[in-house]
Structure 1
């Protein structure tokens, strides 16, 4: 299979980029008085503005031809119908099935997986309702009022991001719960948290697809030992049954650890970790929002699924966002991407998208085994916009790097609070969001006296920016937003010919760490590693022995 860079559509885009390269974004606005209307798109509760990108309608049509050449239509259907799009692991990737309505059906390997998904959701609801009604009791008979989710990667980032983003939508249950997250292997998060909690009223959710993740099991073992030392006499079986829930695809391992089947929620091998917040991995979200809030999140994601699957490319938000990124990366040579939510509630979104995009598309080998001769996923990072303005915007405005930026903001906030002060703050926030994207794209051409300023005060602009406006931040709109980025990543992978659903690049490090553990636990062993590692081991052993 030829590399995408050798195809006719790719070559056409290369020629088009050469023709357009001398155009500043401000020139593109001057040339087209209807530019905003022609490059703004909407679905559900989301509006996408691409008018501050370095492109025109010809660019979009050429990019759409690239998508057609890559058989994107067929790949989208393959994704939704359970074909094995994860070729290196011979699996489907059916996170879309996790948010499909109960009335739908999809048979994979002889099983109606939609029915299985909704059976699991029903089990999840029973657990959530039991906790919210104060009927899940710890070893002293007191109701559980604190949840600690122990997981890492996709078992942590999605639920954490969502719980923080939607905290204002917390369930009004009779027995509301506090939800905490622990992911770090070094125990620092857990040790600080446990000192503040009541063991008799704390429930741990162990979230691990394989139930072999060292980070998660180490924290879980520490949590169980903390419960044992709490001063209350009970059996280990009773302690585990009352204070642990497992969310896993490996129920046998969870049972071996001691968690009874009634305390287990399942997800499947066709659910990738970074696509799993829609599954039972989202239990902390349901405990925070209530089950109806969690289902609203799924409904928003499903609405985006339907839009993605059935909308023509030139009106399709995930396709458009993906193609614009391909344009920036492969034809404008921009390899840095800033995620800039102008909403403190979305403070964890950049970290979530870092994993979603860089773990999915941080690949250099195609599905056919060829080494690519073009760039794939850029470096992603970000921060809440108003904080970022005082941190790294200097580089965006006057540095030497070209950076593409996603601005994300909600149109409405504090409408029902009755607080004019808070509504004023939101207007101030919107003003900053729109001002920064305007200045990054257009530069100081927006000022009357720009030419009179010294060089160190000039703003060159021409940094391509997309703006996403949510009607308001709620479970439905957040579901739409996250599914939008998921599908964007998939489209990019199709264009580049890579597999976005495996992550072999993180596996070898785990194996090497296991081999090093023995050398760390046995100072008398003779390490057979490289010079640097041998030297570091010796330095650590010396310090642990109190030597100089």
Structure 2
């Protein structure tokens, strides 16, 4: 999508203009930009869908942004947005659409993709999910021994784990009070350590498992699922005086979520306990549909639909707003500027709200699995940087961990600070509410102060007296601040959609496909071959010296 002539991004006129422009700003300190542009907050801040996006602490000026808008136009961003949202085959390597945005369309919308209106099918899948959720919330889902289900363990990895885990944690405050209590847990690791913990503590009579896998072939998930099935069969088939059939145990204790219903059936999932979605939904973009079952179980379907509505509001903004007002486009262009023209290859995500504990991990997959590419859409190697290394942690904790590097390390890092403006209004006890609100103000003070010090360095201090070098701060570290009016299902939906669309815009400009992940496939294939050797069913002699030594060390440990 780089241009109509298939020029690579770095040969576009605007790219060359930006290279020369960057030379004029490369050594301009942020404190200077703020000193000469007192209206930066107004110029570089936008508000929509319950979010405030502050880009004033980026190391750019009005001219930079104009050049970036030109680059986006030359790269075909406006037409690419239309192609994404209308269901064109933007996933070129797999020759299919990437229609996660369709999962959050309202029921009265119409979207015809290759001759089929998919909105009705999407809402039928949500209705099917709602029926399962309602049974569990009403205490009507009973296990093989007749007891109501109290625990749901989601077995998934990657997009089938990170999204639901992040959202259920973030929105735990929105759990309905008038439902049968159902606790949701997550097990993703193939080594079984998470699952083993649950199996040691949960009652098999009141526990069900959700197998979430788009392909239903993911070895991580299936290994956990097979262990869970054997645990249930061993615990329940001999329960009481009358044996219980294995078929009944599997039927009553497993739900499947996949794009491969035939594989779910083959594994043993009952037809009416299968939730499906489509090949055009990428795994890391799938929490908006039936993969979001754990979210609906925690927050209820009304809040789940509010979550979808919040994302849809950002979709509409993305589709309709001019680039100069378009939050995803602006956020994406800041990233392009930092990576390709200021040579900043590290990006840290820093939420200042404990409910967003897993947001950085979620974005790590969203961004690095999507844009960690080195080949263009036409199959040519790129000769420019694409996705930066992304990492993060809760900001208050990170202050006591890696902020040392941010403030005084040797490499530049761009940071995203994320926080809600309001919190704890719903706490009933006035004394507790007052203390918690004070803690929220403390978190915001730290959030705002850290971004200020990263920007200004020593100039953030009123008294810049003599100090040794090890107590000095250089500043000039760029950052973005995203403020939520409040952390609600709707604003969380719009926040996630903001980052989804940012990733897409960057992929368009870099001319890469953000909707495949071939880079993870080879490792899985080699792991399968290696497992055969570990199990004495393959040829050890063809392994390299290191791998051979590691396998022999494992064999020796087995013999002890």
TM-score by length of 1: 0.98
Is the counterpart of residue 498 in structure 1 residue 508 in structure 2?
Answer: no
**Structure 1 CA distance, aligned partners of 2:338 and 2:453?**
19
Alignment partner for residue 415 of structure 2, among 405, 416, 422? 405
**Structure 1 CA distance, aligned partners of 2:506 and 2:40?**
25
- Structure 1 position 108, deviation (Å): 2.2
Q: Which runs of 5+ in 2 are unaligned?
A: 1-5
Alignment partner for residue 537 of structure 1, among 551, 554, 560? 551
- Structure 1 position 446, deviation (Å): 2.1
**Structure 1 CA distance, aligned partners of 2:167 and 2:251?**
27
Map of 1:352 onto structure 2 = 362
Residues 22-421 of structure 1: pairs in structure 2 closer than 5 A: 22-230=27-235, 231-232=238-239, 233-417=243-427, 418=430, 419-421=433-435
- Structure 1 position 169, deviation (Å): 0.6
Map of 2:470 onto structure 1 = 456
Does structure 1 retain, via aligned residues, the 8 Å contact 2:532–2:538? no
Identify if the C-alpha distance between structure 1 residues 297 and 22 changes in structure 2 by more than 3 Å, giving closer, same or farther: same
Alignment partner for residue 534 of structure 2, among 493, 503, 520? 520
CA-to-aligned-CA distance 1:25-80 (integer Å, 9 cap, x gap): 11111101111111110002100111111011111111000000011111001001
**Structure 1 CA distance, aligned partners of 2:54 and 2:114?**
41
Map of 1:436 onto structure 2 = 450
Map of 1:423 onto structure 2 = 437
Residues 463-478 of structure 1: pairs in structure 2 closer than 5 A: 463-478=477-492
CA-to-aligned-CA distance 1:205-252 (integer Å, 9 cap, x gap): 000011111111110011111111214231121111100000000000
Identify if the C-alpha distance between structure 1 residues 65 and 524 changes in structure 2 by more than 3 Å, giving closer, same or farther: closer
**Structure 2 CA distance, aligned partners of 1:379 and 1:524?**
36
Map of 1:21 onto structure 2 = 26
**Structure 2 CA distance, aligned partners of 1:126 and 1:438?**
49
**Structure 2 CA distance, aligned partners of 1:134 and 1:448?**
61
Q: Which runs of 5+ in 1 are unaligned?
A: none
- Structure 1 position 523, deviation (Å): 7.4
- Structure 1 position 526, deviation (Å): 4.1
Total equivalences in the alignment: 546
**Structure 2 CA distance, aligned partners of 1:44 and 1:208?**
31
Map of 2:13 onto structure 1 = 8
- Structure 1 position 194, deviation (Å): 1.1
Q: Any idea what SS the aligned residue of 2:368 has?
A: helix
- Structure 1 position 173, deviation (Å): 3.4
- Structure 1 position 319, deviation (Å): 0.3
Q: Any idea what SS the aligned residue of 1:337 has?
A: strand
Does structure 2 retain, via aligned residues, the 8 Å contact 1:148–1:202? yes
- Structure 1 position 110, deviation (Å): 3.1
- Structure 1 position 113, deviation (Å): 1.1
